[in-house]
Amino acid sequence: MAKEGNVAVRLGLFVLAGTLALVVGMYLLGSKRGLFSSTITVSADFRQVGGLRPGNNVRYAGINVGTVDRLTIINDSTVRVEMALREDQAGHIHANAIVSIGSDGLMGNKLVNIEPGDGTSGAVSDGGTLATSVPLDTDAMLETLDRTNENLAAITTDLRQLAERLNRPGSVLDLFSDTVLAIQLRGSLVELNTAASAARGATEQANALIADVRAGKGALGTLVGDPVAEQQVKGLLKQLQQLSDSLSGAAGEVERFSTGLNDPKGLAHTLTQDTAVAGDVRRSLANLEKGSETLNENLKALQRNWLFRRYFKEKEKADDKEKRIKRDGRSRP
């Protein structure tokens, strides 16, 4: 009898342990779904819900505050998502909060995110509707990511080529390690500083000069401030204008002359540009020179001829006499 009682106790313990494990497990599963706490129902309308299902979590500020209760297609462009939010936490959610659909990590389940409102409105009430934002489109995101990856690959290639060029001897980087250049650069900077100081002094002087001119001091000031001088300057400028016009006319004449020179039908152009004519002229000049030499020999032969010898002697005497008279006249005071 005692043995049977012992069996019953041990069996009772076993069944109790199993039942307790079952009840605790059911409670933990149910509490996650809000089965043991009072909830309010809030809805939000989306164009598309991106795979959201009843039972997905609803998060507010990163904390699970409820679950998706039901999805209903209202019309061809609206899906209504009804959410069961725990009443004790729904008091913190404002009526102007924004609802969006996200996912739990990159590969996680879909969930509804409630972004806090600005606090100007009261807490959302049972049966209330929240505004929505467009859910994140994973396909579009991946497409953008793909383009970004391609761009990144191109940039990386360019960077690699740039780095290779920079690492070559004689590149810009050598300048950074050149100590001589650094010393020269430092000297240049000192000189630049000196030049800047001088420029500053010159600027100050120029400012003083301009101030004097404005005040009518000095020749330039007088010129700027005196009406008579102004008239004279105007006259001078007018004359300069006339001179400029004359020069312009002269330049026009020169231009026309130059145009004439460049005219292929003109003589000057033929002489300067036509190589055939130039060759003819050159040959003619050579013939002339040859003819001149022959004529010179003939003249010398003529001077020795008895018929003309007298004439040449008389001419020589007359020339000598004229030279003597000129010399005497130059030596007298």
Taken in order 172, 178, 184, 190, the sign of the CA dihedral is positive
Q: Are 68 and 58 in contact (CB under 8 A)?
A: yes
Q: Which residues contact 73 (CB under 8 A, 6 or more apart)?
A: 79, 80
Distance CA 181, CA 187 (A): 10
Tell me if 21 contacts another protein by CB under 8 A. Answer: yes
Among 1, 2, 25, 310, which residue interacts with another protein (rule: CB under 8 A)?
A: 25
Among 1, 2, 4, 328, which residue interacts with another protein (rule: CB under 8 A)?
A: 4
Calculate the alpha carbon distances from 330 to 111, 321, 327 in Å.
127, 14, 5
Q: Are 60 and 20 in contact (CB under 8 A)?
A: no
Q: Measured from the CB atom, is 64 or 100 closer to another protein? A: 64
Tell me if 36 contacts another protein by CB under 8 A. Answer: no
Tell me if 214 contacts another protein by CB under 8 A. Answer: no
Under rule CB under 8 A, which residues in 43-72 are in contact with another protein? 55
Q: Measured from the CB atom, is 13 or 318 closer to another protein? A: 13
Instruction: Identify which range of 22-30, 146-154, 174-182, 235-243 contacts another protein by CB under 8 A.
Output: 22-30
Distance CA 54, CA 82 (A): 9
Site residue total, another protein (CB under 8 A): 21
Q: Are 86 and 34 in contact (CB under 8 A)?
A: yes
Among 1, 28, 219, 276, which residue interacts with another protein (rule: CB under 8 A)?
A: 28
Instruction: Identify which range of 17-25, 95-103, 186-194, 309-317 contacts another protein by CB under 8 A.
Output: 17-25
Strand partners for 131:
98
Q: Summarize as ranges the residues that interact with another protein (CB under 8 A).
A: 4, 7-8, 10-11, 13-15, 17-19, 21-22, 25-26, 28-30, 32-33, 55
